[in-house]
Amino acid sequence: MGKIVLNQVTKSFGDTQVIPPLDLTIEDGEFTVFVGPSGCGKSTLLRLIAGLEDVSSGSIEIAGREATQLKPAQRELAMVFQSYALYPHMSVRKNIAFPLKMAKMDKAEIDRRVESAADILNLTDYLERRPGQLSGGQRQRVAIGRAIVREPSAFLFDEPLSNLDAALRVGMRLEISELHKRLSTTMIYVTHDQVEAMTMATKIVVLRAGVIEQVGSPLELYNTPRNRFVAGFIGSPKMNFIEGALAAEHDAHCIGIRPEHIDVSATEGSIQGTINVSEHLGSDTFFHVNCEALNTTLTVRVDGEVGFNRGDTVFLTPKSDLIHRFDEQGLRL
């Protein structure tokens, strides 16, 4: 029902091509996350799907229908904007009811749907307030409410959580995931936060400069990144990359080791270094270890409290079966 297919889609603003020819299939019911650095075209891609921008060439198919020329309203998609885009002069109830009113639905049905959306999103007590009288998280929920009442074939989210504080973000992340489970409608979610991507997605699309670098499940991307860009982008803290002699030992131009795949010891190991900075997060500790022999700094992640401090000399041993190897072009070997 909510399958979305992009076929050789491109987008140019004037002379600059922001999206080179791109193919992508999003299956019905999938929670797809677009991630990538700022300016890589995530929002543009989402807006192309929504119909808020016209494609320069190529075609878009939504729910089995050719949708390239359809107006946004006819595509039966709902979008949640980064700024929420609530209508400030309308009460929460009117905001949520707006798309239904535009669809000329009858009054009783509108009321029923608004009540049930408010119930799902814990907004029942706020229905008569205006958006200006709500907190950021509540506004976000109203925006989601306005999207779900229409029962669209897919939801589009453009960085919906970026205006919220860290604690609220975690809460809303869970709520959106639960909503997806409950509605099992296709969702496309744009973020530049790879933690959001990893925790929510069933499928992640990594973009760089409008090009899809890799598509896959979160763990596929984590375990077998197709190239150095994806390897560096997915995972926190970032993967360590080592070039030169050590890489050559593994028959590669460059090797990548995730911080959590390195053992630390005070006495023995393959790489010697000094702890430059240590970050204690309670459950984890990150060491930034200066390795003179490799002429680089490696990030290492260890459990909780370990007896090392800044300035200590330590020995690092990468887990050999978890080393990623890349060639000159940065492609996985």
Ligand X SMILES: Nc1ncnc2c1ncn2[C@@H]1O[C@H](COP(=O)(O)OP(=O)(O)OP(=O)(O)O)[C@@H](O)[C@H]1O
Binding flag, residue 42, ligand X (CB under 6 A)? yes
Binding-residue total with other proteins (CB under 8 A): 24
Binding-residue total with ligand X (CB under 6 A): 11
190-209 positions binding ligand X, by CB under 6 A: 192
Q: Which does 41 bind (CB under 5 to 8 A by kind): ligand X, Mg ion, other proteins, none?
A: ligand X
Per-residue binding string, ligand X, 140-179, x by CB under 6 A, is ----------------------------------------
Q: For the purposes of burial, counting CB atoms within 10 Å of the CB of 28, is it exposed (0-12), middle (13-18) or buried (19 or more)?
A: middle
Q: Which does 118 bind (CB under 5 to 8 A by kind): other proteins, Mg ion, ligand X, none?
A: none
Q: Which is closer to ligand X, CB of 60 or CB of 148?
A: 60
Binding flag, residue 191, Mg ion (CB under 5 A)? no
Q: Which is closer to other proteins, CB of 80 or CB of 298?
A: 80
Q: Which does 131 bind (CB under 5 to 8 A by kind): other proteins, ligand X, Mg ion, none?
A: none
Q: Which is closer to other proteins, CB of 72 or CB of 269?
A: 72
51-80 positions binding other proteins, by CB under 8 A: 51-52, 71-73, 77-79
Binding flag, residue 64, ligand X (CB under 6 A)? no
- If phi over 0 gives left and psi between -120 and 50 gives alpha, with beta otherwise, what is residue 4? beta
Q: Which does 129 bind (CB under 5 to 8 A by kind): other proteins, Mg ion, ligand X, none?
A: none
Query: Does residue 99 have a cis peptide bond before it, meaning omega lies within 30 degrees of 0?
Result: no
186-205 positions binding other proteins, by CB under 8 A: none
Q: Which is closer to other proteins, CB of 62 or CB of 252?
A: 62
Q: Which is closer to other proteins, CB of 98 or CB of 315?
A: 98
**Are the CB atoms for 210 and 19 separated by under 8 Å?**
yes
**Where do runs of H (alpha helix) occur along 56-165?**
92-102, 107-120, 136-148
Residue among 8, 13, 124, 280 that touches ligand X (CB under 6 A): 13
The greatest distance separating any two alpha carbons of the chain, rounded to the nearest whole angstrom, comes to 75
**Are the CB atoms for 10 and 17 separated by under 8 Å?**
yes
Residue among 4, 6, 40, 80 that touches ligand X (CB under 6 A): 40
Q: Which does 7 bind (CB under 5 to 8 A by kind): ligand X, other proteins, Mg ion, none?
A: none
Within 10 angstroms of residue 313's Cβ, the number of other Cβ atoms is 11
**Where do runs of H (alpha helix) occur along the chain?**
42-50, 92-102, 107-120, 136-148, 166-183, 194-200, 218-223, 228-233, 245-249
Minimum Å gap between C-beta 43 and ligand X is: 3
Query: Which pairs with CB-CB distance under 8 Å and at least 24 residues apart come from 111-120?
Result: 113/149, 114/145, 114/149, 117/145, 117/148, 117/149, 118/92, 118/93, 118/145, 120/145, 120/148, 120/179, 120/182
Residue among 43, 95, 185, 214 that touches Mg ion (CB under 5 A): 43
CA 314-317-320 angle, to 5 degrees, is: 170
User: E strands of 230-312, at which residues?
Assistant: 240-243, 254-257, 262-265, 271-280, 284-291, 296-303
Minimum Å gap between C-beta 43 and Mg ion is: 3
Sign of CA dihedral 266, 270, 274, 276: negative
The binding site for other proteins (CB under 8 A) comprises 50-52, 71-73, 77-79, 81-83, 85-90, 98-99, 102-103, 146, 150
Site of interaction with ligand X (CB under 6 A): 13, 18, 36, 38-44, 192
